[in-house]
Amino acid sequence: MSAAVRRYHAPLGRTVSPHGGHRCGPAVDIAHAGLEAILAGLCPGRTAQDVYGDWKTTIEAGLGRGYQRHHCGYSVGIGFPPSWMAGRVDGLRPGNSTTLRSGMTFHIQSWVVDPQIGTYAISDTALVTHDGGEPLTATPRYPMRPA
pLDDT digits 0-9 by tens, 34-74: 999 999 999 999 999 999 999 999 999 999 999 999 899 98
Residue 27: pLDDT over 70: yes
d(CA 127, CA 112): 23
Q: How far is CA 69 from the centre of its chain?
A: 12
Instruction: Write phi, then psi, for 123 (nearest 5 degrees).
Output: -150, 155
State whether the Cα torsion 80-84-87-92 is positive or negative. positive
Question: In the prediction, which pLDDT does 118 show?
Answer: 83
Question: In the prediction, which pLDDT does 146 show?
Answer: 46
Nearest to 114 by CA among 39, 25, 47: 25
| Cβ-contact 45, 99 below 8 angstroms | yes
Residue 2: pLDDT over 70: no
Residue 81: pLDDT over 60: no
